[in-house]
C-alpha cells in the first residue's frame, strides 16, 4: 500500500515519538510511506517544544494565531496536493490537529480514502486549558474533519465518545491506543549502569518520566516516602523537565528529602528505556480523562510495578491488583497508600510488573500491532466499499490499490 502521511507537528516530544514509530511500523510491514509535514525542525533535540511555532503562539493574540492556523491549511493543501500528484497514494493518513483542513480538502477533491488519527479533542482541550478566541470555528473545523474521514483512530474509547457525539458512525471508528517497540522496551533492559551512576544501588526507586507540571501532584510522592520508616532506602527518580520541576525540588528540600530526589531533566530518546528500567515503582500520578499515556505503555513493556489513577481511560489498559495498583484520582491519600504498599512489598512489585509486561504481549500493544490493526480495518472497509460505497465522496470512489 502507498500511504501519504500528513501532520502538522513540530514539537520533539511524545507526539513526535508516535509519528516516527507509526511510520516505521508501516514501513516494516512493506508499505511505502511518504511524509508531508512542516520543515525546519528535524535537527531539534528530543524534549524541545514547538520552536518557532510556539514562539509565534506566545507573541500573537489568540484570534490572530488561530486565523494563521487556519490559513496554514491552504499552504499545507498545496504541498499535499503536489505529493498526491507525484506519489499517487492509496491512502491519506493524517494526524489530527485543530484548524487543519488540508487532508479533508484533498479527500473531497480526489476521493482518496482518508484516515484521521485523533489523540485529543483539541477544540474542547484548548477551550478549557489554553483558551480559544474562535471557538465556533474551532469546533466546526474539528467536526468537519472527523465526520469527513473514512476511518477515525481515537487513542481511547473515552476519546471515541467525543468522536461519536459529532455523528461519526461506529463503522468509521477504530480505537488504537499508544504502543511500544518491544525491542527497545522489554523486561530484559539492563539498568545496572544507571543505578550505579546515580547511587541507586540497594534502593527502592520510585520513578516518573515526562513533562513535569504542577497538577501532576508529584509532591505527594515525597509525602509518601517521608511517612515510611525505611525512608532512607527509598529514592525518587524523575526523568523530564517542565514548569513543575523547581517546585518539586523546593518541596523535597522543605521536607528534608532533597537527597532522596533526583531530577535528571530530559534524557535522550535512545536512553529512556535504561532509566525507566531502573524504576522499581513507575508512577502515573495524573492524566487527562481521554488520553492514552505513552509512558504507561513503556512502564508496562519494561515490566515495572505501576501506580496509576482509577479512571475509565486507564482501565482500558490496566486492572487494579492484576497488572497495576489504581487509586482514586481525587484522593491523594490513596495515592500515597498505594506507593507505601509497593515500597514495602517486593513480591507484589514483581507480580504486578510481570503482569504488566504480559499485558503488552497478550494484547499486542506495539506499534507494529497498531499498524496491522489499522491496515486490516482498511482492507475490511475496502471490501465493504465495493458493495456499500463506504469510501464515498462527492467526486467518486477510490479503493486501496
| Per-residue model confidence as pLDDT tens for the chain (401 residues) | 999 999 998 876 778 999 999 999 999 999 999 999 997 544 444 445 555 566 676 777 888 999 999 999 999 999 999 999 999 999 999 999 999 999 999 999 999 999 999 999 999 999 987 779 999 999 999 999 999 999 999 999 999 999 999 999 999 999 999 999 999 999 999 999 999 999 999 999 999 999 998 888 999 999 999 999 888 999 999 999 999 999 999 999 999 999 999 999 999 888 999 999 999 999 999 999 999 999 999 999 999 999 999 999 999 999 999 999 999 999 999 999 999 999 999 999 999 999 999 999 999 999 999 999 999 999 998 877 665 544 444 333 344 43
> Are residue 199 and residue 94 in the same domain, yes or no?
no
Tell which residue, 114, 123, 112, 121, has the closest CA to residue 70. 123
Domain co-membership, 23 together with 107: yes
**How far is Cα 335 from Cα 319, in angstroms, rounded to an integer?**
16
Gap between the Cα atoms of 21 and 367, Å rounded: 6
Distance CA 360, CA 257 (A): 35
Residue 394 inside a domain? The answer is no
- Burial group, residue 28, by CB count within 10 angstroms (0-12, 13-18, 19+): exposed
Give residue 54's pLDDT.
Answer: 64
Q: Are residues 269 and 254 in the same domain?
A: yes
Q: How far is CA 396 from CA 6, 189, 362, 383, in A?
A: 22, 51, 41, 16
pLDDT computed for residue 130 by the predictor: 73
Total number of domains constituting the chain: 2
Same domain? For 172 and 234 the reply is: no
Cell of 109: 477533491
Q: Is residue 327 located within the same domain as residue 202? A: yes
**pTM tops 0.85:** yes
In a domain, 259, yes or no: yes
| Residue 393 falls inside a structural domain | no
Residue 201 lies in a domain: yes
With CA atoms as reference, report the closest residue to 381 among 212, 204, 149, 103: 149
Nearest one of 210, 211, 10, 212 to 97, comparing CA atoms: 10
**Quick check: 332 and 217 in contact, CB under 8 A?**
yes
Assess whether 217 and 329 both reside in one domain: yes
Asked whether residue 398 is domain-assigned, the answer is no
Question: Residue 187: inside a domain, yes or no?
Answer: no
Give the model's pLDDT for residue 394.
39
Q: Are residues 159 and 197 in the same domain?
A: no
Q: Does residue 167 share a domain with residue 61?
A: yes
Asked if 169 and 116 sit in the same domain, the reply is yes
Q: What is the CATH number of the domain that holds 17?
A: 3.40.50.2000
Same domain for 25 and 162, yes or no, is yes
| Residue 260, domain extent | 192-363
**Residue 355 belongs to some domain of the structure:** yes
Whether residue 212 is found in the same domain as residue 328: yes
The answer to whether residue 57 sits within a structural domain is: yes
- Claim to verify: residue 122 and residue 214 sit in the same structural domain: no
pLDDT score, position 102: 98
Cβ neighbour number for residue 129 with a 10 Å cutoff: 8
Amino acid at each position: 500500500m502507498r500511504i501519504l502521511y500528513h501532520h502538522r507537528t513540530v514539537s520533539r516530544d511524545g507526539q513526535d515519538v508516535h509519528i516516527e514509530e507509526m511510520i516505521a511500523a508501516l514501513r516494516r510491514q512493506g508499505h511505502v510511506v511518504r511524509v508531508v509535514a512542516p520543515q525546519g525542525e528535524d535537527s531539534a533535540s528530543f524534549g524541545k517544544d514547538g520552536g518557532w511555532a510556539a514562539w509565534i503562539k506566545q507573541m500573537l493574540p489568540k484570534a490572530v494565531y488561530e486565523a494563521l492556523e487556519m490559513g496554514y491549511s491552504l499552504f499545507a493543501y498545496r504541498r499535499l496536493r503536489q505529493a498526491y500528484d507525484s506519489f499517487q497514494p492509496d491512502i491519506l493518513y493524517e494526524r489530527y490537529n485543530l484548524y487543519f483542513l488540508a487532508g479533508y480538502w484533498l479527500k473531497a477533491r480526489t476521493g482518496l480514502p482518508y484516515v484521521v488519527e485523533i489523540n485529543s479533542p483539541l477544540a474542547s482541550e484548548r477551550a478549557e486549558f489554553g483558551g480559544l478566541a474562535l471557538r465556533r470555528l474551532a469546533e466546526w473545523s474539528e467536526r468537519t474533519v472527523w465526520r469527513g474521514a473514512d476511518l477515525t483512530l481515537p487513542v481511547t474509547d473515552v476519546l471515541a465518545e467525543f468522536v461519536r457525539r459529532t455523528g461519526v458512525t461506529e463503522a468509521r471508528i477504530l480505537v488504537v491506543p499508544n504502543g511500544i517497540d518491544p525491542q527497545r522496551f522489554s523486561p530484559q533492559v539492563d539498568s545496572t549502569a544507571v543505578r550505579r551512576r546515580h547511587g541507586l544501588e540497594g534502593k527502592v526507586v520510585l520513578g516518573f518520566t515526562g513533562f513535569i507540571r504542577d497538577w501532576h501532584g508529584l509532591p505527594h510522592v515525597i509525602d509518601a516516602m517521608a511517612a515510611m520508616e525505611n525512608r532512607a532506602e527509598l529514592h525518587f527518580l524523575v526523568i523530564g523537565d517542565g514548569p513543575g520541576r523547581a517546585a518539586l525540588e523546593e518541596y523535597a528540600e522543605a521536607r528534608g528529602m532533597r537527597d532522596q530526589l533526583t531530577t535528571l531533566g530530559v534524557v535522550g530518546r535512545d536512553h529512556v528505556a535504561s532509566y525507566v528500567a531502573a524504576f522499581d515503582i513507575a508512577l502515573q500520578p495524573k492524566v487527562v480523562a481521554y488520553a492514552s499515556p505513552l509512558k504507561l505503555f513503556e512502564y508496562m513493556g519494561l515490566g515495572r510495578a505501576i501506580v496509576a489513577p482509577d479512571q475509565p481511560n486507564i482501565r482500558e489498559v490496566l486492572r487494579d491488583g492484576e497488572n497495576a495498583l489504581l487509586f482514586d484520582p481525587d484522593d491523594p491519600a490513596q495515592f500515597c497508600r498505594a506507593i507505601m504498599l509497593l515500597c514495602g512489598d517486593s513480591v507484589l512489585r514483581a507480580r504486578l510488573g510481570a503482569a504488566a509486561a504480559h499485558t503488552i504481549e497478550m494484547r499486542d500493544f506495539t506499534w507494529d500491532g497498531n499498524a496491522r490493526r489499522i491496515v486490516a480495518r482498511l482492507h475490511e472497509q475496502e471490501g465493504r466499499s465495493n458493495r456499500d460505497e463506504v469510501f464515498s465522496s462527492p467526486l467518486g470512489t477510490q479503493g486501496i490499490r
